[in-house]
Amino acid sequence: MDNALAFTVNGRPTRLTVDPRESLLDVLRERLELTGTKKGCDHGQCGACTVHVDGRRVVSCLTPAVKVDGRAVTTIEGIGGPDGELHPLQQAFIDNDALQCGYCTPGQVMSGVACLAEGHASDDAEIREYMSGNLCRCGAYVGIVAAIRQTARQAGR
């Protein structure tokens, strides 16, 4: 039995009929062609698929698509400016060499944006704790923390 959904993705109203077993990750990547959100472990353990639902971070591989009916979803494609400018945290990732292979980067950035928005960037230990659900196989953690710290400073936090 399929379910009709109406939700917003990156500010755009979206209507879809989904199988109740479909994950938000699969809907975003396969149905909406928003491939910035990555499928890492597909078990909610790596954070590569992190997106925001109503401003809160979620791992989209474990989120049933039917749960976003009537809600607002933001992916990595939706955090930049209207003219394509990078989000300040994206620029800070570049400035601080906070990526290597780049596979985890979208999830790291989305979690970092939430970390900043929720006021969890007061010091490196707090940033590391808040970001602990996002894994980087390349070990770019020092740069990731520095990028979040830089963005927090620029925002006056």
8 plus 70 within the same structural domain: yes
**Token digits of residue 20:** 């109740």
Query: Which residue(s) pair with 57 in the sheet?
Result: 52
74 plus 92 within the same structural domain: no
Look at residue 29 and tell me if it is in a domain. Answer: yes
Look at residue 83 and tell me if it is in a domain. Answer: no
Of 58, 78, 98, the last residue of a domain is 78
113 plus 51 within the same structural domain: no
Whole-number Cα distances in Å, 69 to 27, 39, 73, 91 = 13, 22, 10, 32
| Secondary structure (3-state) at 47 | coil
60 plus 115 within the same structural domain: no
The total number of structural domains in the chain stands at 2
pLDDT at 7 exceeding the cut of 80: yes
Amino acid at 69: D
- Sheet containing 50-53, strands listed edge to edge, beginning at the edge strand earlier in sequence: 12-18, 3-9, 72-74, 50-53, 56-59
- Helices then strands, counting H and E runs in the chain, come out as 5, 5
pLDDT at 157 exceeding the cut of 90: no
Tell me which residue range forms the domain holding 21: 3-78
**What are the pLDDT digits (tens) for 86-131?**
999 999 999 999 999 999 999 999 999 999 999 999 999 999 999 9
Q: 40, 107 in Cβ contact below 8 A?
A: yes
Of 17, 44, 78, the last residue of a domain is 78
Of 52, 78, 104, the last residue of a domain is 78
Assign 156 a pLDDT band (cuts: 50, 70, 90): confident
Assign 144 a pLDDT band (cuts: 50, 70, 90): very high
For the domain that residue 142 is a member of, what is the CATH number? 1.10.150.120
